[in-house]
Amino acid sequence: MPELRKDPITGGWVIIATDRARRPSDFFRERVVLKGAGFCPFCPGNESKTPPEILAYRPASDRGQRNAPGWSLRVIPNKFPALGIEGELNRQAEGMFDKMNGVGAHEVVIETPIHGETLATMPVKQVEDVLWAFRDRILDLKQDRRFKYILVFKNHGEAAGASLEHPHSQLVALPILPKQVVEELEGSRRYFANKERCIFCDIIQQEMESRVRVAAENQDFVAISPYASRFPFETWILPKRHESAFENSASHVYENLARMLRSLLLKCVHLLDNPAYNFMLHTSPIQENANDYYHWHLEIIPKLTKTAGFEWGTGFYINPTPPEEAAKFLREAAIEDAQTA
Amino acid sequence: MPELRKDPITGGWVIIATDRARRPSDFFRERVVLKGAGFCPFCPGNESKTPPEILAYRPASDRGQRNAPGWSLRVIPNKFPALGIEGELNRQAEGMFDKMNGVGAHEVVIETPIHGETLATMPVKQVEDVLWAFRDRILDLKQDRRFKYILVFKNHGEAAGASLEHPHSQLVALPILPKQVVEELEGSRRYFANKERCIFCDIIQQEMESRVRVAAENQDFVAISPYASRFPFETWILPKRHESAFENSASHVYENLARMLRSLLLKCVHLLDNPAYNFMLHTSPIQENANDYYHWHLEIIPKLTKTAGFEWGTGFYINPTPPEEAAKFLREAAIEDAQTA
């Protein structure tokens, strides 16, 4: 008998298949294959083919340079932005409908100068720099009072929506709160109103006691396969210590997140044959002060099932891999990796 | 400047690209190609390879037959159901989490005996029979008090999640309300509490006055590209007359829905090069009486963008085709089709 499980935060139900559960080898394979051919605007030497950089990390000897090789990480405006950076919101009605100008920022973090590298294989320090870049950009974009939320995400592989293969992630600053964010905030607030405790802190405590859905753990983080996972091998990385906003963390937190993220992605590469994936940072709205009810975290979703079908339209998910099994596979995956040991 | 538009029912925002809008010819092509090869369990003669039929439409001369050729439409339990039909819900806690048995029905409507047929090309009467089958099954499943909602949907083409190519749609009877349904119901109730009018009726009235987002119209139905469309060429077919539940409609309603659905799908085939698509019936929960605030409708979503990327995880949609343009393309598409003229 399959199981219906309720997401404790948003209240949505998912179906977890228990018979015929799909193991890592059962999934349709659309592995990410490096093509590497052709012109890449993100490679060193092609800086003039992108909009001018907003931020770059360079060795100290190189600090004066801009838009020229020598960088180890580079942040640029998206050449084809989903939103425009100039102008006012100009909220208005269109009959019974509501609209505003699509004002926002859309930036690309070029994670490394090396075209064929990935977050799973680059040095931990380089992954950590990607996280520092997220933080630096969030702190800067926060100053713009038009924005309410910054969405940080990565599409890895064509099947996950990446149009360029050079390793990169994205930031979108929005003048509104996306629906999923609103749902999580409202769910967490409701729980806090009732219990005076953070729901994520309670989940972490229960998961760390039972251990069945713990995929990995280090000093600052625990990675779990959430109880009501919508997707096979969906994995959340949560800071053990309560913190509502990603950008407020201490520096060892970024270091330990880099270690855990890299190690989990490397395990996915081995276990799931280099799948496409998305990750999304879930953090508090930028204009809010630190709060007691919301707890930032990173959600990783490998793209294993060929399509999401009608799930978008219904909010009705069927997950063929129980999270307990996914966590066990991830926990027990032995990878040789001196860096994250 | 792109536009941010608010879905008047659920309150979610979408980004509508206005520059560089993508026209039908701009989309990635993953056209549905009929393979036809190999064994098909849904073809006549193979009735013993599926679970025994729940319902079949046959000519009067053939009424005594069961699980044998001669049918024009056949409903069977899904051989690999997402939910189990037997047993009680047995709601229970697992620490702070909530679960219940995955009790429900999962049925397949085999829409025609002809393997290579589609809803866009079969006779209108056959499409109408598919709608009658939805109604017949809803009325039957409604008797089971364990169920709260019946999800009726179709995945057409591999890219939309179809695993068999013989034309079929699906019904899933659920003991819970899916999240998207809850959101629409709550949004509609909120609007009704405020205005004492159905929000869908108001949308229909505004759209029929302005006409810019009207894709098609007949005696009983209007098809619109919704103001805050999440996907390019997303199309909703709404009954003009208020009705909360699909299964309560008069018989001319099914006939006119069949005409409109077939004609829109045929236009999609021509305009968008035979795309994969999903459709979902949005209707009231089955244990509710007819109500004044919710308005059933059918949502069609052609699968045109290669992936949804991180949209699931964020509820943040970017639509590269303004609905006004999608509606114009659909409205003006000239197709030779004596049947739906």
Residue pLDDT, tens place only, A206-253:
999 999 999 999 999 999 999 999 999 999 999 999 999 999 999 999
For residue A147, pLDDT beyond 50 = yes
For residue A266, pLDDT beyond 80 = yes
Burial of residue A14 (CB within 10 Å: 0-12, 13-18, 19+) is buried
Nearest to A37 by CA among A116, A118, A108: A116
Kindly identify which residue of chain B lies nearest to residue A8, measuring between CA atoms: B97
Token reading at B146 = 């364990």
Contacts of A158 in chain B (CB under 8 A): 306-307
Kindly identify which residue of chain A lies nearest to residue B13, measuring between CA atoms: A178
Residue B16 pLDDT class (50, 70, 90 cuts): very high
Would you say residue B339 lies in a domain? no
Nearest to B268 by CA among B258, B256, B278: B278
Residue A307 and residue B312: Cβ atoms within 8 Å?
no
Would you say residue A111 lies in a domain? yes
pLDDT in tens, B137-187: 999 999 999 999 999 999 999 888 888 999 999 999 999 999 889 999 999
Would you say residue A274 lies in a domain? yes
DSSP A171-213: EEEESS--HHHHHHHHHHHHHHHHHSS-HHHHHHHHHHHH-TT
User: Which residues, numbered 74 to 93 in chain A, qualify as contacts with chain B under a Cβ-Cβ cut-off of 8 Å?
Assistant: 80, 82-84, 87
Which residues does residue B94 pair with via DSSP β-bridges, in sequence order? B97
Token reading at B300 = 């069609």
Residue B289 pLDDT class (50, 70, 90 cuts): confident
Helix (H) or strand (E) holding B312: helix B311-314
Lowest-confidence pick of A182-191, B71-80, B159-168, B293-302: B159-168
Residue B6, pLDDT score: 96
Nearest to B237 by CA among B252, B251, B257: B257
Report the DSSP pairing between strands A13-16 and A317-319.
parallel
For residue A341, pLDDT beyond 60 = no
Token reading at B150 = 């019946």
Contacts of A314 in chain B (CB under 8 A): 151, 153, 178-181, 280
Residue B338, pLDDT score: 64
Lowest-confidence pick of A20-24, A186-190, B5-9, B81-85: A20-24
- What are the angstrom distances between the C-alpha of B138 and each of A77, B59, B245, B295? 51, 22, 10, 17
For the entire predicted model, the pTM comes to 0.94
* Phi, psi (deg, nearest 5) at residue B208: -75, -25
Could you tell me how far CA A231 lies from the centroid of its own chain? 15
Taking the CA of residue A57 and the nearest CA in chain B, the distance in Å comes to 27
Residue B29, pLDDT score: 63
Q: Check if A315 contacts B (Cβ < 8 Å).
A: yes
Nearest to A104 by CA among B134, B17, B229, B221: B17
Residue B159 near residue B30 (C-beta atoms within 8 A): yes
Query: Would you say the C-alpha torsion B268, B270, B272, B275 has a positive or negative sign?
Result: positive
Residue B37, pLDDT score: 77
Total number of domains in chain A = 1
Can you tell me which residue has the tokens 């800071």? Answer: A239
Residue B30, pLDDT score: 74
Query: Would you say the C-alpha torsion B134, B140, B145, B146 has a positive or negative sign?
Result: negative
What is the DSSP-derived secondary structure letter of residue A152? E
Q: What is the CATH number of the domain that holds B143?
A: 3.30.428.10
Would you say residue A38 lies in a domain? no
Would you say residue B338 lies in a domain? no
pLDDT in tens, B86-131: 999 999 999 999 999 999 999 999 999 999 999 999 999 999 999 9
DSSP B198-264: -HHHHHHHHHHHH-TTEEEE-SSEEEE--TT-SSTT-EEEEESS--S-GGG--HHHHHHHHHHHHHH
User: Which residues, numbered 2 to 41 in chain A, qualify as contacts with chain B under a Cβ-Cβ cut-off of 8 Å?
Assistant: 2-6, 8, 10-13, 15-18, 20
Per the document, the length of chain B is 341
For residue A77, pLDDT beyond 90 = yes
DSSP B172-205: EEESS--HHHHHHHHHHHHHHHHHSS-HHHHHHH
The overall average pLDDT reported for chain A is 92
Residue B341, pLDDT score: 46
Contacts of B82 in chain A (CB under 8 A): 2, 15, 17, 318
Would you say residue B340 lies in a domain? no
Q: Check if A314 contacts B (Cβ < 8 Å).
A: yes
User: Which residues, numbered 134 to 163 in chain B, qualify as contacts with chain A under a Cβ-Cβ cut-off of 8 Å?
Assistant: 151, 153, 155, 158-161
Residue B300, pLDDT score: 96
Residue A2 and residue B159: Cβ atoms within 8 Å?
no
Is B252 marked active-site? no
Residue B306, pLDDT score: 66
Lowest-confidence pick of A336-340, B5-9, B46-50, B275-279: A336-340
Residue A316, pLDDT score: 81
Q: What percent of chain B stands above pLDDT 70?
A: 95
What is the identity of the amino acid at B310?
F
Nearest to A154 by CA among A103, A109, A215, A102: A109
Would you say residue A198 lies in a domain? yes
Residue A13 near residue B98 (C-beta atoms within 8 A): no
For residue B241, pLDDT beyond 60 = yes
CA distance B311 to A156: 14
For the segment A268-295, the average pLDDT, to the nearest whole number, is: 93
pLDDT in tens, B26-75: 776 678 888 887 899 999 999 999 999 999 999 988 888 899 999 999 99
Q: What percent of chain B stands above pLDDT 90?
A: 77
Would you say residue A3 lies in a domain? no
The overall average pLDDT reported for chain B is 92
For residue A306, pLDDT beyond 70 = no
Look up the domain containing A63 and give its range: 43-332
For residue A308, pLDDT beyond 60 = no
